[in-house]
Structures are given as structure tokens and as C-alpha cells.
Chain A
Amino acid sequence: MNSLECGHEDRVVRAVLSGTWPGEDPALAAHAEHCEICREVVEVAVVLRADHQLARHEVQVPVAGQVWWRCAVRARLESAQAATRPMTWLHGVTAAITIGLLLAGIGMAWPAIVEGAGWAREVVGPLASNAEVSVVVSGVLRQSVLIALAAAACLVVAPLLLYFVLSND
């Protein structure tokens, strides 16, 4: 025995928790009156036990099935989130690779583009001075611009439409 514990402490706790304190063992009760440690144990244990007994009767817990159900749904949701995480990464990587390839392609083709633009200027320049040719060319260009605008609109609108339609699923 030292100043932190008393040899009777366990018996005192058991007596309090079983509800037999202090009647069943007068000798133990007499000891607790004189032992500072056991007296404190009794003071604290009596209060905590009373609160515990009361709370155990009053407390309302959800039924087991409900808790199980919530856990199951949450586990499924977390699995689904974990499963979509690699896809999100894959999309990001794909987009980065596509942009990189596009820039590399433009970089490689740039001299040819510059050369082609120079050649076109040489060919189109004399033709543009001819009035008949320029009327035909401007008509074709006007139609091409309309077709290009329609195509661009489709390119923008189609993914958006697809997104909204499929997001409902």
C-alpha cells in the first residue's frame, strides 16, 4: 500500500457499483470513514454510479438496424467516391497530355505554316486584284464562315447537352 492507493479500494468500488454500499460490509464502511483514499473513492463513485444508472434508463439510442443501415450506405458512398478518384485523375492527365501534344504539334508545324502563308499570299494576291474572282471567293468565304460558326456552336453545345442529359442518371 502507498499514498496513491489503498488495498480495500477495489472492494469499496465493487460495493458501491453493486448497490450494496454501505450496509453489507460494516467493517469496510468503518474503514472508509477513516481512510482518506477510500472516502474519496466512495464520494466520487456514489455520484458517478447514480448518474450512470439514471442516464442508462433515460438515454435513447437508435435501433441497431438503423445504425447498420446508415453505416452500410456510408460505406457504399465512400467506396463509390474512392472508385471515382482515379477517373478524375485520369481525366486531368488526359487533358494535360492533349494540350501538350497540341502545343508540340503546333510548334513542329510552325515553319510549314509560315511558309504556307507566304505561298498563299503570293497566289491569292494577284487573284484578289481580279474583280470576278474576288466576288466568287467572297461568296464562298461567307458560306464557309456560316458553316464554321454552326460547327463551332455544335461543338460547344453538344457536350453541354450531353452533360445535362446524362447527369440526371
Chain B
Amino acid sequence: MRDLTLTDMERLGAFDEAERTFQMTEEAFRVFYELTARPVQVYLSRMTGDDRLADDLLQETYYKFLRSNATFDSDDHRKNYLFRIATNLVRDHQRRPRVEVAASPATQEGVASPADAHTAERAAARIDLARAMAHLKPRERSLLWLAYAQGWSHQEIATALGVKTASLKAMLFRARHRLAVILKNPGGRS
């Protein structure tokens, strides 16, 4: 069976059709995207440890978001929902069998050509953190990132990750303790 492809005319038609298919207009999407794209991209990059994969997942995240029929009470609710999609995509990806990737291209670039001592120091810190995060479970990584990099409240994190607020504190405590131990002792494990 032939793969279905779209002609240029159909692609132009898709642009008009999108306004009806998606849950928001292009203008509203632009505003929302400008606010959220960078944090989501950084989140995906840190959760997967792979910048190129994060690029793909970013596109997928927004596609799933636009196709969803969810209704939102506020911009924060919309943002939390977006991060929930991103988290699920990362989880789905990690469940699939895959070829192990040693380090992200960005990390390798940082090591290859440090322009000065400051850059080298930042690159080293980044690699240390990436290695430490790699020792954590995916959910622990998400928890820590949302709590301490993005400064989300426990309620927001619970909504985004689909966990109970009551159990979040204990999970966050364990994850934080593990990361602190690994950061102090990069060679060992917690």
C-alpha cells in the first residue's frame, strides 16, 4: 500500500483546516508558545539527556497539546497540562528499547571546545549534573527539575506528573537526598 502524502495545495489547505481542528487559534498558539517553548525544550533536554531527541519531543508535545480536547481554567493549568504531555512522552520514549547514547551533542561540544576557563567550568558543572541526573529515576528527575529549576509548587508538580500531592513530599525528599549524595560523591552511587 502506498504511503499517503499531501500535495502543496493540500498543505495550504491544512493551514486553514488547522484553525478548526486545533483547540486554539494560531495567534493564541504563538503567544502560548513564546511563553512555554524554552522551558519545555530545556525540560525535555534534561529529562532525556539528548538535545536532538528533545527537539523531536518538543514538536510532538505541541502537536498532542493542540489535538487535545482538554479545557483549561487558567494559563497555569494549560502550562501544567503541556508539561504533563512532555513528561508522558519522555516516559514512553524511555520504555521503548533503544540504543544507548553516551552524551548529548551539546555536552560533547562543550567539552571539545571550551573557549575560556569560565566556559570549561560551566561545561564541567553541566556534565556533572547530567551524570548525576542519569543515576536518578525518570520521575525523580522530573520532580527535582520542576521543583528546583522551575520553582513549581507541590500542587503544580502533582498535577503535571499525575501523582498525589500527599505522596509528593516523600518522593521529593528521597529524590533530593539521592541527588545531593551523588553530587557530593560523583564517582559513587547513593
Residues from chain A with Cβ under 8 Å of B190 in the complex: none
Per the CB 8 Å criterion, the residue count for chain A at the interface is 44
Binds B, one of A23-31, A52-60, A99-107, A120-128: A52-60
A88 to B170, alpha carbons, bound, how many Å?
A: 53
A-contact bits for B25-57, CB 8 A (1 contact / 0 none): 010011001100111011001100000000100
Say whether B42 contacts A55, CB under 8 Å. yes
A-contact bits for B91-131, CB 8 A (1 contact / 0 none): 00000000000000010000000000000001001100100
A74 to B66, alpha carbons, bound, how many Å?
A: 11
Say whether B46 contacts A40, CB under 8 Å. no
A-contact bits for B5-23, CB 8 A (1 contact / 0 none): 1100011011101100110
A-contact bits for B134-167, CB 8 A (1 contact / 0 none): 0000000000110111110000000000000000
Say whether A70 contacts B6, CB under 8 Å. no
Say whether A56 contacts B38, CB under 8 Å. yes
Say whether A70 contacts B183, CB under 8 Å. no
Say whether B41 contacts A61, CB under 8 Å. yes
A68 to B58, alpha carbons, bound, how many Å?
A: 12
- Interface residue? B173 (CB, 8 A): yes
Say whether A72 contacts B129, CB under 8 Å. no
B interface bracket (residues with beta carbon within 8 Å of A): 35 or more
Which chain A residues numbered 43 to 84 have a C-beta less than 8 Å away from chain B?
A: 43-45, 47-52, 54-56, 58-59, 61-62, 64-65, 67-77, 79-81, 84
Binds A, one of B69-77, B80-88, B174-182: B174-182
Say whether A51 contacts B151, CB under 8 Å. no
Q: How far is the CB of A84 from chain B (nearest CB, A)?
A: 7
Binding site for A on B (CB under 8 A): 1-2, 4-6, 10-11, 13-15, 17-18, 21-22, 26, 29-30, 33-34, 37-39, 41-42, 45-46, 55, 58-59, 62-63, 66-67, 106, 122, 125-126, 129, 144-145, 147-151, 169-170, 173, 176-177, 179-180, 183-184
Please name the 3 residue pairs, one residue from A and one from B, whose CB atoms are nearest each other, closest first. A76-B14, A72-B18, A52-B149
In the complex, 24 of the A-B residue pairs with CB atoms within 8 angstroms, ordered by the A residue number, are: A4-B169, A5-B173, A13-B151, A14-B151, A43-B180, A45-B148, A48-B129, A49-B148, A49-B149, A55-B45, A56-B39, A59-B41, A61-B37, A61-B58, A64-B30, A70-B63, A71-B22, A71-B62, A72-B21, A75-B14, A75-B17, A76-B6, A76-B17, A167-B2
